[in-house]
Amino acid sequence: MKILGIESSCDETAAAVVENGKTVLSNIVATQIPFHTMYNGVVPEIASRKHTEWIFPVVRQALGEARLTIDEIDGIAVTNRPGLMGSLLVGLTFAKTLAWSTGKPFIAVNHMLAHLYASHLAADIAYPYLGLLVSGGHSIICKVSGFDHIEVLGTTIDDAVGEAFDKVAKFYGFGYPGGVVIDRLAQNGNPKAARFPMPAIDKQNRSGSADAKFARDNPHYYDVSYSGLKTAVINQIDQFWNPVFE
């Protein structure tokens, strides 16, 4: 079985052909980074317009690299959530139209689940296992007991880690995307230069121990928060640049 997958949830237009669930025959990604860099982040209007321009050539290239025609495709899958509304609509409209016009099955995909299941492409993973999803505006810890049995154990209550990276990078003037710059600088940084709060919420169990019974009785035990860490980093930077002498 050969599936054509289409992704347009944010600022990358992508298409891939996968055979029998694991063999990637082609994977084409068109990035919009040069168009968003001057704004220090993704501009939704620009993103959706670029998707409109690029989605057809990207899909055509994916089919060409896989050496297949659309008639040889068994189904068409597309990201339907979460993401930027305008960007999602471009991919959804294209995929629905293509599926309808060719009579192919249409498959809508939550791309957070796709991130989770992508790990199965690299290895045979036995259930149950813990999944960590760190993508865009999401930071999720989940227990995966089966293909369609996923329990969310914790998520962000405010900012996701990606947002914290982006905003700190913007404050620094690192440009977009800035997370990779922070990561590179951190490799040679001093981990003891400043103390920052742990990005977690644990109001009832101050001991910090991951007691199983306590976790079961408190459904938000594994929730995380990055807004405080983001603010602390920005304040620390401000102190470095503008020291107060007593």
Q: Are 107 and 77 in contact (CB under 8 A)?
A: yes
Query: What angle is formed at CA 143 by the lines to CA 141 and CA 148, rounded to 5 degrees?
Result: 120
Looking at the chain, which residues constitute the CATH 3.30.420.40 domain(s)?
Answer: 2-117, 126-241
- Predicted local confidence at residue 51, as pLDDT: 97
The predicted pLDDT at position 218 comes to 61
Give the chain's residues under pLDDT 70: 199-220, 240-246
In CATH, 126-241 is 3.90.1150.10: no
Q: pLDDT per residue over 7-40, tens digit each? A: 999 999 999 999 998 899 999 999 998 998 888 8
Question: Given this model, what pLDDT does residue 217 score?
Answer: 60
CB environment 207-237: b (16+ within 10 A), e (fewer) = eeeeeeeebeeeeebbbbbbbbbbbebbeee
User: Hey, which CATH number is domain 2-117, 3.40.50.300, 3.20.20.140, 3.30.420.40, 3.40.1050.10?
Assistant: 3.30.420.40
